[in-house]
Every structure is written in structure tokens, then in C-alpha cells.
Amino acid sequence: MKATEQLPLSTNISRSAIIAEFGDSVEFDISLARLTSFRTGGPAKYFLVVKTLDNVARAISSAQRLELPCFIVGGGSNLLISDAGYDGLIIKIEIAGLELIDETVIECGAGESLMSVVKFSESESLTGLEFAAGIWGTIGGAVYGNAGAFGNEIGDVVHELELVNSNGNIKTVDGNYCRFAYRDSYLKTTKEVIATVRIKLHKGKRDEIQKKITDILDVRRDKHPDKLTAGCFFKNIPDSSQPHGKLSAGYLLEEVGAKELSVGGAKVFEKHANMIINAGDATSHDIHQLAALMKEQVKKKFNIELEEEITRIGYF
């Protein structure tokens, strides 16, 4: 099952009403391709950047009053946006800030890149986040999707969150509230917006932390593309007999020869069968069709239905 945000075919709200609610900072018909790591997708009818917790709350409240569909984006690293775009409001979270608020607790603005948080934790000699080195996107997006690597997940270190609900109300919750699961969280159900993340780590030795980060980045450079991609496209399959309790989707795709597959400008990365890249002129439809072909091949040979990690926005 894939996460998909779809809309009515038309959102008919006057330009003046939009400006009255959101102010002059709201933009119209903005290309979303530049916001995603695939560099594909059509325009957003309305687009707003928010940089503070209060502004997030106001934007959500305004969208609610107008009955305007909205979608939250961070770094855009795990999104596939329809070529037709999004007929609603895209709110881009750019809340910044990194602060050590306790001996082992870091407070992060949800718009901070995950890599900036990794580097900050290393500078404070805090260990427990090294696995996230090199993962694209923001800390807010990572928490929302419970990003992970090398048998670790971001949910393991989440201490508290400041959230904004669909009515624009702000609340603070602890990590257990999120009900983290493999590449999933309760926030996908509640549709609450992450504004602030507090992570709890452990004291360590800075030189050892630096070495772990360097080693992980070396692995990523060797196996992951520096091209236009969303990283791993499909989730691994729960299997208690496998390392970390998961059967690798990449292994299954390797076995069906997925590395030879391409559709239009989209192709499977030659070093990793679970990664789709935009070879330069791909459309979101190309990526959609290629993903469907990959799933079909695995289903045919192994009778396993692959589940996508990415979130789709719009109609496919």
C-alpha cells in the first residue's frame, strides 16, 4: 500500500481570498519539481514557506477555514509528485535551529537537514544518530516516516515533538505517541505537522563518533547514487529469519534483473536494484510506470507484493 495524497479535481478559491488568509508570502503556480530529489512533478496551485512554529499553526488554521487541501513538505527527498501537480496548498517547513537543551537532548527545528543534526550531535560528542549520516531530507520528514538504515531507526531516539494539528492547535508529545513502526508512524494517520523535534542520545567519544559517520558515508558513496533519486523506493519485507528481521527488497529486485529496467528517462540504479534514478529527462509518470514494472516482476517470481516507501502526491 502506498501513501498517496489526492484531491478533488478543482480547488476554486479566489486569489484575493488566498492572499487575505496567507499574506503576500503565498505564491501561485510554483513548480514542485525543484523541491523534490527526483526533480519531477507539476506545479502547486498555492505554495507557502513557513519558518516558525506560530506560522505553521496560522497556515494550517487558514487552510482549515478555507477548506483548502494542503500538504506538508520538508526536504522533498521521499516524494513523487504527479506531473499534473497539486491543486491545493503546499506548505514547506523551513523551521531552523539546533540547540543542546539538556546533557544528551538536542532540540531541532523540523526544517533542519538530517545531516546537519548528525553533524551537530557529533560536535557535542553525542552518539546514537550516526546511522543517519547521508540520509537526505529533513529531521521532520525523517521522524514522520521513521527513516532508518543499518538496522536503526530515527524513532529510536525521538524524545519529544511539538506538533500542530489540523485545526492549528499546538501540542507537545513524547516519542511513544508516534507509535513508530518500520518506515511508519502514527503521524501519518493523525496528519499532525511536526514543528520541533527533540532527540535523546548518549555521551560518547567524539573520535569514535566521527569514524562511524565517515564509515557510513563511505558505504553510501559506494552503493548509493549521487543522481536524482528518492533513495530506496520499496520497503524491505518483514521476515524474522533474516538479518534485522527484514528480507531485502533490493535482493528480490536483483534476482528478477531489475537493474536492466528503464522507462523513458527513469531507470534502476546500476549499483542498487531498489533505487530508481532520473537519468536526466524523466517524468513522474516514467517513474510510476517503472515502479509498477519492478513490482510486477517480483510478484511474478516470488509472489511478494512490494510496498513503496515513498509518498505520492496527486493523481497517477
The phi-psi region of residue 220 (left if phi > 0; otherwise alpha if psi is between -120 and 50; otherwise beta) is alpha
* Catalytic residue of the set 124, 160, 308, 309: 309
Phi and psi for 303 in degrees, rounded to 5? Answer: 55, 40
Catalytic site includes residue 108: no
Phi and psi for 247 in degrees, rounded to 5? Answer: -90, 125
Catalytic site includes residue 232: yes
Q: Which letter does DSSP use for residue 312 in this model? A: E
Distance CA 101, CA 187 (A): 24
Distance CA 202, CA 313 (A): 37
Q: Residue length, the chain? A: 316
* Catalytic residue of the set 183, 192, 198, 308: 183
* Catalytic residue of the set 153, 232, 308, 312: 232
Distance CA 145, CA 133 (A): 16
Q: Which of 24, 7, 27 is CA-nearest to residue 67?
A: 7
Catalytic site includes residue 309: yes
Helix (H, G, I), strand (E, B) or coil at 247: strand
For the chain, what is the largest distance between any 2 Cα atoms, rounded to a whole number of angstroms? 59
| Residues belonging to the active site | 183, 232, 309
